[in-house]
């Protein structure tokens, strides 16, 4: 976006025959208008970003008066002053030049062959072009805003394409982005009058015309309100469904149309103070996750996929909200139990460690001695405990399946073999030890033997 004229631009134009006498430190000042005045007090009529052009008839002859003239002009915000070389002005004193230097107030001199009207027209032409461009941008802003789909409104990239500025709208309470992909580095912040407090974030170096910025804020306020309202509606709907799930009336496939949890995925329950319910649900909704959160037993609960728990952990660390997390769960029927785990974990959250994960007391499955471990291995594994290479392969595959909670595909993938190959190895292992992973009693003994084998292996290495 081209900038308006500066004092430096004017003196750089040889056709204007204008030079700097003093105040070179202010040459980057913007000039929106150039006005001729011979008034003894031109600061009463001129102001910000206006260039004073004078033949010098209004300048005091004595140095003290000239110093005061510069001081008052600079104080009024006048961009600078040029004095015509027509022989009508008094001699400009060193004191006046020194005052202009002190204030970085550009004091210029224009040759006698350059009418002031030429300077005025030059400034007016650029200003008019800039105003016309601003009107064009406003027209395109409203046109583009009305044609954007929801996804494009959320990303906000259409603004960058049109104005050359990357924008973001951030929800103040959660820190989540309502519009935009990322927070600009060292952003300038502008509050927006949205349904809930938000801020427009612009890069510090962004240059936007003030009129364009006003209208852009209005457009983004409307877009942000629509997205926030949608997030609230999603949260309300998800809360009603989650309440049915806690009451046992909905399963994971009925919740959010079954889209939120894939086969084999685990989930967690998060617990926080009841006052944090809005933070939890809006954070999930604004980050594009199912906003499964509700108030239950005077506490806020949220259900997230294990891989998405980091979103809530980040919220807790960013806002100081205490959060308890259950252990990963594989069965949706364990939802209520997971909620209790999260409640218990919440008691361990502190200001310095706002996120606490459930770690229940573990039942010890270790044998009391190496001799007892050897006895368990021999009695349960039998021939599967032998040292042959093929037997070791069957035994290792069985142990891997036990470690993965009988998740066959997960074990096959971890071992780098086909699921049918894993099934064959497990059948061989079952034959060798005379036990089956499909029988609860046998499975308990095999798991004890697996822990005993691990203990013997540790003993041999110590």
Enumerate the domain spans of the chain.
7-124, 249-357, 370-461
Please report which helix (H) or strand (E) contains residue 20, including its range.
Answer: strand 18-22
Taking residue 287's Cβ as centre, other Cβ atoms within 10 Å add up to 17
User: Long-range pairs for 355-359 at CB < 8 Å and ≥24 separation?
Assistant: 355/313, 355/316, 355/317, 355/323, 355/325, 356/322, 356/323, 356/324, 356/325, 357/324, 357/325, 357/327, 358/324, 358/325, 358/326, 358/327, 359/327
Q: Which are the contacts of 86, defined by CB distance < 8 A and separation ≥ 6?
A: 55, 56, 112
Show the tokens assigned to 249: 């009336």
289: left (phi over 0), alpha (psi -120 to 50) or beta: beta
Task: Provide the angle, in degrees to the nearest 10, between the axes of the packed helices 335-346 and 210-246.
Answer: 120
Q: Please tell me the distance from the alpha carbon of residue 89 to that of residue 97, in angstroms, as a whole number.
A: 15
Please report which helix (H) or strand (E) contains residue 391, including its range.
Answer: helix 389-403
Q: Please tell me the distance from the alpha carbon of residue 14 to that of residue 124, in angstroms, as a whole number.
A: 18
Q: What is the pLDDT of residue 174?
A: 92
pLDDT tens string, the chain, 462 residues long: the values are: 345 788 998 898 888 999 999 999 999 998 888 999 999 999 988 888 899 999 999 999 999 999 999 999 999 889 999 999 988 999 999 999 999 999 999 999 999 999 999 998 888 877 766 655 555 566 667 777 677 777 777 888 888 877 788 899 999 999 999 998 888 888 889 999 999 999 999 988 877 777 778 888 988 999 999 999 999 999 999 999 999 988 888 877 777 666 777 777 889 999 999 999 999 999 999 998 999 999 999 999 999 999 999 999 999 999 999 999 998 888 877 888 889 999 999 999 999 999 999 875 444 456 666 777 888 888 899 899 877 777 899 999 999 999 999 999 999 999 999 999 999 999 999 999 999 999 888 898 899 999 888 878 754 543
Q: pTM of the predicted model, to two decimals? A: 0.51
Beta bridge partners of 189: 201
The count of residues in the chain is 462
Q: What is the pLDDT of residue 261?
A: 77
**Biggest alpha carbon–alpha carbon distance for the chain:** 119
Q: What torsion do the CA atoms of 324, 327, 329, 332 make, to the nearest 10 degrees?
A: -30
Q: Please tell me the distance from the alpha carbon of residue 287 to that of residue 223, in angstroms, as a whole number.
A: 16
Please report which helix (H) or strand (E) contains residue 225, including its range.
Answer: helix 210-246
- Superfamily of the domain at 7-124: HprK N-terminal domain-like (3.40.1390.20)
| Cα 411 to Cα 396, 398, 442, distances in angstroms | 11, 9, 20
Is the domain defined by 249-357 classed in CATH 3.30.70? yes
| Cα 326 to Cα 21, 203, 266, 321, 385, distances in angstroms | 75, 40, 11, 16, 36
Task: Report pLDDT digits (tens) over 346-389.
Answer: 999 999 999 999 875 444 456 666 777 888 888 899 899 877 77
CB burial string 153-187: b at 16+ within 10 A, e below: bbbbbbbeebbebbbbbbbeebebbbbbeeebeeb
Q: Please tell me the distance from the alpha carbon of residue 7 to that of residue 28, in angstroms, as a whole number.
A: 6
| Cα 446 to Cα 71, 82, 153, 362, 453, distances in angstroms | 93, 97, 56, 18, 10
Block residue for tokens 């309100």: 225
Q: Please tell me the distance from the alpha carbon of residue 5 to that of residue 28, in angstroms, as a whole number.
A: 9
Sort 360 into a burial class: Cβ within 10 Å, 0-12 / 13-18 / 19+: exposed
Task: Report pLDDT digits (tens) over 239-293.
Answer: 999 999 888 888 777 776 667 777 778 899 999 999 999 999 999 999 989 999 9
Task: Provide the angle, in degrees to the nearest 10, between the axes of the packed helices 63-75 and 94-103.
Answer: 20
106 close to 20: Cβ distance less than 8 angstroms = yes
Is the domain defined by 370-461 classed in CATH 1.10.10.2840? yes
């Amino acid at each position: 976006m081209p900038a308006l004229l500066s004092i430096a631009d004017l003196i750089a134009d040889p056709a204007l025959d204008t030079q700097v006498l003093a105040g070179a430190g202010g040459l980057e000042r913007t000039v929106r208008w150039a006005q001729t005045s011979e008034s003894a007090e031109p600061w009463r009529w001129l102001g910000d970003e206006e260039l004073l052009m004078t033949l010098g008839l209004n300048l005091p002859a004595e140095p003290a008066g000239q110093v005061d003239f510069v001081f008052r002009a600079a104080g009024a915000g006048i961009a600078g002053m040029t004095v015509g070389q027509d022989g009508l002005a008094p001699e400009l004193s060193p004191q006046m030049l020194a005052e202009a230097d002190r204030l970085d107030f550009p004091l210029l001199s224009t040759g006698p062959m350059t009418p002031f009207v030429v300077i005025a027209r030059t400034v007016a032409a650029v200003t008019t072009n800039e105003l016309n461009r601003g009107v064009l941008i406003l027209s395109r802003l409203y046109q583009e805003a009305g044609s954007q789909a929801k996804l494009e409104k959320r990303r906000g990239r259409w603004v960058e394409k049109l104005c050359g500025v990357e924008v973001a709208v951030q929800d103040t309470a959660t820190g989540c982005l309502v519009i935009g992909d990322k927070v600009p580095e060292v952003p300038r912040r502008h509050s927006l009058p949205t349904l809930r407090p938000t801020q427009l974030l612009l890069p510090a170096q962004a240059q936007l015309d003030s009129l364009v910025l006003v209208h852009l804020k209005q457009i983004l306020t409307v877009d942000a309100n629509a997205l926030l309202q949608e997030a609230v509606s999603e949260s309300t709907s998800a809360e009603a469904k989650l309440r049915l799930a806690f009451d046992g009336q909905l399963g994971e496939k009925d919740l959010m149309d079954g889209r939120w949890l894939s086969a084999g995925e685990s989930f967690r329950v998060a617990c926080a103070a009841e006052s944090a319910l809005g933070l939890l649900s809006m954070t999930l909704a604004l980050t594009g996750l199912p906003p499964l959160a509700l108030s239950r037993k005077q506490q806020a609960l949220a259900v997230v996929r294990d891989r998405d728990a980091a979103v809530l952990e980040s919220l807790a660390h960013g806002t100081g909200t205490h959060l308890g997390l259950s252990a990963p769960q594989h069965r949706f029927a364990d939802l209520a139990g997971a909620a209790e785990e999260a409640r218990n974990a919440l008691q361990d959250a502190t200001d310095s460690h706002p996120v606490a994960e459930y770690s229940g007391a573990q039942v010890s499955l270790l044998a009391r001695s190496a001799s007892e471990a050897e006895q368990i291995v021999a009695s349960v594994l039998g021939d599967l405990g032998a040292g042959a290479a093929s037997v070791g392969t069957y035994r290792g595959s069985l142990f891997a399946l036990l470690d993965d909670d009988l998740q066959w595909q997960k074990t096959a993938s971890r071992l780098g073999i086909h699921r049918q190959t894993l099934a064959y190895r497990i059948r061989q292992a079952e034959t060798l030890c005379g036990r089956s992973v499909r029988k609860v009693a046998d499975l308990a003994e095999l798991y004890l033997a697996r822990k005993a084998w691990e203990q013997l292996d540790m003993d041999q290495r110590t």
